[in-house]
Amino acid sequence: MARLYFIRHGETDWNREGRLQGRTDTSLNAHGRRQAASVGKHLVDLVGAEGAERFASIPFYASPLLRTRQTIEILRESAGLDPADYQPEERLREIGFGAWEGKTWPEVRSRDPIGARDRDKDRWRFVPPGGESYANVLERVQPWFDTVQQDTCVVAHGGVARVMMVLCGGLTPEQALEADIWQGKVLLFEEGEMRWLPKPGHG
């Protein structure tokens, strides 16, 4: 079966501040750019002597948002690949938080306590004002996932990662919502299971 290498975009200032980004087009900060370069080198190290040649033969897809495009271009250049040789994919956009975007969770709870309460009751299906639910994201990601027939590398978002954990990682929605979604690491989906791949020298 095909392997899917999933990378969450590098850090942004809104990540650091704990703000909901969703569809808002934020940019990587300096730490996020370093994370992206490190992941590119990690991908090459994963396949040893084959290195960049192996990854030059598989498709790369990215969410069209700026932070994901910056990440994939930096990581590909770091891996010795053409930075521009990837496919933007609209269906890999982050979950939309609508009116909540730009706010921290404490701000959301203060300004929209009823919405925050309703979300706590069913985080998978709750739709923020003007946004979408994780269930909605799964519905738009699955048709793209169904086209994957070979080893593929994807750069997207935390919300998309949670959906992928349900689609092909063996987790329930409840488990996926509680899972850690790291930046600067590679998440491998293979044969209905998932695992974060350690960097060389880290076990």
| pLDDT tier for residue 57 given thresholds of 50, 70 and 90 | confident
Q: Reading across the β-sheet that carries 193-197, which strands appear in turn? A: 87-88, 60-62, 152-156, 4-8, 186-190, 193-197
Mean pLDDT of the chain: 94
The string of pLDDT tens digits covering residues 155-186 is 999 999 999 999 999 999 999 999 999 999 99
**155 three-class SS:** strand
Taking domain 4-197, whether its CATH number is 3.30.70.3040 is answered by no
Q: Alpha-carbon distance 192 to 16, whole Å?
A: 32
Q: What is the mean pLDDT of residues 71-93?
A: 96
Span 110-152, pLDDT tens digits: 999 999 999 999 999 999 999 999 999 999 999 999 999 999 9
pLDDT above 50 (res 202): no
Mean pLDDT, range 88-116, rounded to an integer: 98
Is 51's pLDDT higher than 60? no
* Domain residue limits, the chain: 4-197
Least confident among 27-31, 54-58, 100-104, 112-116:
54-58
Rounded-to-integer distance, Cα 187 and Cα 203, Å:
15
Is the per-residue pLDDT at 195 higher than 80?
yes
